[in-house]
């Protein structure tokens, strides 16, 4: 496995593309005029209005949209946090380390928010979900500071280790090490990437987080209520913190300042890997085109997503859920039976679906309609494969076993708006119309050709002159590649009368070949 992070800087936004073996698996954007909220930001806020019927409160963060705070997101140690805020704001505490801070009794987990919070009360909160559509951000008063290897949790003494670390011996070792270095008054969550790390690396990360807590507390003493008192890391650093590991081979950045920032952050978390950060300076070819990202964006964000072997997905969205339909494309297959064909297509689809969920950052309820399989063993194979493909997904998710009708339900955490990219372009033949991106039609022609060429000795392709030029230019051209693959020469005829994306296949008698 080989991962690369490609960072492209623009005049008003920075784009981040995460590649796995050259394939786009995540896409992020940080805009100059972005929302004032990012997951991880900490605010000293004011309670606007507790609502008994919702058992939640609307909270003023100092911006246009109020945030939503549910009772279950208050955290059991809220009384200790509220006492700390009151004393710090009044200047009665100068030691923010919590080592001499007496904890208050925990709140009842089944209590009522109107018994705990009142209007105009100050509270320290953290953004856990960015604003989506007309909804404000979702917040929590269970504060935590995430580092590379550990997460620091104030007003707690608990040490826990990521469930993704499977070795019991390693879990015990990490727990022992962290218990020996953790500051009093703080809990610690050990992250998956801490596996195999030495105590010095864990302690360095812990001390960095402790300093962030101290810095935030000092700011809290004079900060107006409401206001932001601690911001999350910039997007490049937060992505590296959460996903960087030894499988990364390169980080390409086309902006010098961002290149130096990225290098500096990597020096902190993985000094032996600083050399993989490269400053892309070519003026001949844009960075995203160099690594085929623009093409992958065009082919990955439409309603229909093509896959190998002629199969494709149809992805649709409703207010309540997302629906993904798996289609075989009625292709011929070397599989010995319909059941084998269904399993083969479903496995291809499962890998692409896992990628699509991360790429589009789809959240909520997702229902996938796989091709029906009668054999329960095959359904289990598919289920296990999908779980394995989604194991790298950082978003919390749950996958239910397939029903006998081939439906699999997935729930996936949504912390920011879904990524939607317009893939259709202006129709050159109709000023008011739109067409699929040209690159999609090239892929569709190639897919259709694969399905028909084995059954015909001669194939003629009639296309618009622009498309004909694209298929025949350069060496090796796409047509040459088809020849090497199928051992048949496809005759391409430009047709001026055709619309931009119109094409037809003909056999040796000149009859149109219908692609099924």
CA-wise closest residue to 187 among 154, 217, 211: 154
d(CA 47, CA 37): 17
Q: Is 374 part of any domain?
A: yes
Q: Which of 211-220, 226-235, 397-406, 440-449 has the lowest mean pLDDT?
A: 440-449
Q: Is 455 part of any domain?
A: yes
d(CA 199, CA 302): 47
Helix (H) / strand (E) containing 268: helix 256-269
Higher pLDDT, 351 or 336: 351
- Last residue of one domain, picked from the residues 347, 381, 412: 412
Shared domain check, 323 and 185: no
Q: How confident is the model at residue 234 (pLDDT cuts 50, 70, 90)?
A: confident
For helices 78-89 and 199-222, the axis angle rounded to 10 degrees is: 60
Identify the domain containing residue 13 by its residue range: 3-33+247-288
Q: Enumerate the β-bridge partners of residue 150.
A: 190
Higher pLDDT, 332 or 254: 254
The CATH number of residue 171's host domain is 2.40.50.140
The token pair at 233 is 């890391």
Q: Is 516 part of any domain?
A: no
Interval 312-334 mean pLDDT:
80
| b/e per residue 251-271 (b: at least 16 CB within 10 A) | bbbbbeebbebbbebbeebbe
Shared domain check, 482 and 352: no
Q: Over 80: is that where the pLDDT of 134 sits?
A: no
Whole-number pLDDT of residue 439: 61
Q: Is 417 part of any domain?
A: no
Q: Is 511 part of any domain?
A: no
Q: Over 80: is that where the pLDDT of 132 sits?
A: no
Higher pLDDT, 128 or 434: 128
Q: Is 58 part of any domain?
A: yes
- Last residue of one domain, picked from the residues 239, 259, 288: 288
Interval 471-487 mean pLDDT:
88
Query: At 313, is the secondary structure helix, strand, or coil?
Result: strand
Question: How many CB atoms are closer than 10 A to CB 173?
Answer: 16
Q: Over 70: is that where the pLDDT of 414 sits?
A: yes
Q: Which residues contact 471 (CB under 8 A, 6 or more apart)?
A: 442, 445, 461, 463, 477, 478, 479, 492
Shared domain check, 94 and 223: yes
pLDDT above 90 coverage of the chain, percent: 47
The CATH number of residue 22's host domain is 3.30.420.40
Max distance between CA atoms of the chain, in angstroms, equals 93
d(CA 441, CA 499): 12
Q: Over 60: is that where the pLDDT of 95 sits?
A: yes
CB 3 within 8 A of CB 19: yes
- The answer, yes or no, to whether the previous bond of 354 is cis (omega within 30 of 0) is no
Q: Is 296 part of any domain?
A: no
Q: Over 70: is that where the pLDDT of 232 sits?
A: yes
Shared domain check, 268 and 388: no
Q: Enumerate the β-bridge partners of residue 135.
A: 132
Whole-number pLDDT of residue 178: 95
Q: Over 90: is that where the pLDDT of 172 sits?
A: yes
Per the prediction, the chain carries an average pLDDT of: 87
Shared domain check, 221 and 103: yes
Q: Is 187 part of any domain?
A: yes
| b/e per residue 404-431 (b: at least 16 CB within 10 A) | eebebebebebbbeebeeebeeeeeeee
Interval 483-494 mean pLDDT:
92
Whole-number pLDDT of residue 109: 83
Shared domain check, 256 and 176: no
Q: How confident is the model at residue 438 (pLDDT cuts 50, 70, 90)?
A: low
Shared domain check, 103 and 12: no
CB 142 within 8 A of CB 73: yes
Domain count, the chain: 4
Q: How confident is the model at residue 515 (pLDDT cuts 50, 70, 90)?
A: confident
Shared domain check, 84 and 186: yes
CA-wise closest residue to 399 among 413, 414, 391, 411: 411
The token pair at 283 is 């003026």
Give the C-alpha distances (Å, rounded to integers) separating 352 from 6, 133, 469, 470, 477: 21, 27, 31, 27, 27
Interval 52-79 mean pLDDT:
92
Query: At 16, is the secondary structure helix, strand, or coil?
Result: strand
Q: Over 80: is that where the pLDDT of 262 sits?
A: yes
Q: Over 60: is that where the pLDDT of 33 sits?
A: no
Q: Which of 92-106, 200-214, 416-430, 465-479 has the lowest mean pLDDT?
A: 416-430
- Strands 138-140 and 122-129, by their bridges, are antiparallel
CB 364 within 8 A of CB 322: yes
Higher pLDDT, 405 or 420: 405
CA-wise closest residue to 115 among 155, 154, 79: 79
Question: How many CB atoms are closer than 10 A to CB 300?
Answer: 20
Shared domain check, 266 and 181: no
Shared domain check, 100 and 178: yes
Whole-number pLDDT of residue 420: 56
- Last residue of one domain, picked from the residues 362, 382, 412: 412
Higher pLDDT, 334 or 278: 278
Whole-number pLDDT of residue 333: 52
Whole-number pLDDT of residue 218: 92
Shared domain check, 93 and 196: yes
CA-wise closest residue to 503 among 476, 478, 466: 466
What are 112-131's pLDDT values in tens digits?
999 999 999 999 999 998 88
Shared domain check, 113 and 95: yes
């Amino acid at each position: 496995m080989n991962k690369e992070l490609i960072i492209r800087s623009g005049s008003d936004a920075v784009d981040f593309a995460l590649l796995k073996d050259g394939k786009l698996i995540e896409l992020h954007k940080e805009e100059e005029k972005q929302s004032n909220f990012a997951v991880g930001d900490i605010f000293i806020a004011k309670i606007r209005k507790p609502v008994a019927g919702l058992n939640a409160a609307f909270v003023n963060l100092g911006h246009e949209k109020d945030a939503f705070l549910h009772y279950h997101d208050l955290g059991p140690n809220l009384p200790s946090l509220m006492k700390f805020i009151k004393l710090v704001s009044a200047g009665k505490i100068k030691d923010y380390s919590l080592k001499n801070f007496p904890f208050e009794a925990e709140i009842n987990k089944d209590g009522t928010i109107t018994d705990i919070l009142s209007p105009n009360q100050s509270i320290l909160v953290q953004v856990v979900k960015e604003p989506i559509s007309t909804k404000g951000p979702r917040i929590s008063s269970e504060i935590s500071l995430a580092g590379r290897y550990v997460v620091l949790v104030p007003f707690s003494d608990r040490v826990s280790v990521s469930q993704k670390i499977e070795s019991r011996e390693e879990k015990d070792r990490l727990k022992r090490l962290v218990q020996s270095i953790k500051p009093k008054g703080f809990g610690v969550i050990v992250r998956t990437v801490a596996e195999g790390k030495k105590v010095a690396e864990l302690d360095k990360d812990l001390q960095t987080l402790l300093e962030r807590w101290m810095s935030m507390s000092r700011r809290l003493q004079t900060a107006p209520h409401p206001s932001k008192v601690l911001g999350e890391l910039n997007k490049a650093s937060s992505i590296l913190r959460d996903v960087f590991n030894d499988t990364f081979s390169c980080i390409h950045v086309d902006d010098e300042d961002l290149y130096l920032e990225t290098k500096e952050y990597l020096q902190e978390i993985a000094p032996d890997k600083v050399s993989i950060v490269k400053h892309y300076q070519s003026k001949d070819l844009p960075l995203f085109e160099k690594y085929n990202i623009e093409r992958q964006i065009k082919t990955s964000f439409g309603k229909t997503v093509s896959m190998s072997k002629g199969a494709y997905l149809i992805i649709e969205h409703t207010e309540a859920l997302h629906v993904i339909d798996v289609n075989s494309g009625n292709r011929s297959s070397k599989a010995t039976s319909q059941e084998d064909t269904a399993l083969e297509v479903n496995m291809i689809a499962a890998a692409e679906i896992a990628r699509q969920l991360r790429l589009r950052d789809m959240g909520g309820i997702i229902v996938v309609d796989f091709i029906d399989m009668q054999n329960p063993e095959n359904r289990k194979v598919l289920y296990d494969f999908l779980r394995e493909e989604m194991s790298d997904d950082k978003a919390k998710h749950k996958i239910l076993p397939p029903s006998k009708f081939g439906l699999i339900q997935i729930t996936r955490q949504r912390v920011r708006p879904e990524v939607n990219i317009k893939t259709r372009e202006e129709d050159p033949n109709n000023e008011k119309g739109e067409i699929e991106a040209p690159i999609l039609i090239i892929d569709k022609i190639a897919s259709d050709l694969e399905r028909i060429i084995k059954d015909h000795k001669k194939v003629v392709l009639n296309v618009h002159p622009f498309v004909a030029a694209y298929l025949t230019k350069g060496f090796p051209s796409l047509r040459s590649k088809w020849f090497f693959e199928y051992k048949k020469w496809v005759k391409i005829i430009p047709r001026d009368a055709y619309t931009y994306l119109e094409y037809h296949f003909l056999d040796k008698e000149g009859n149109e070949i219908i692609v099924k």
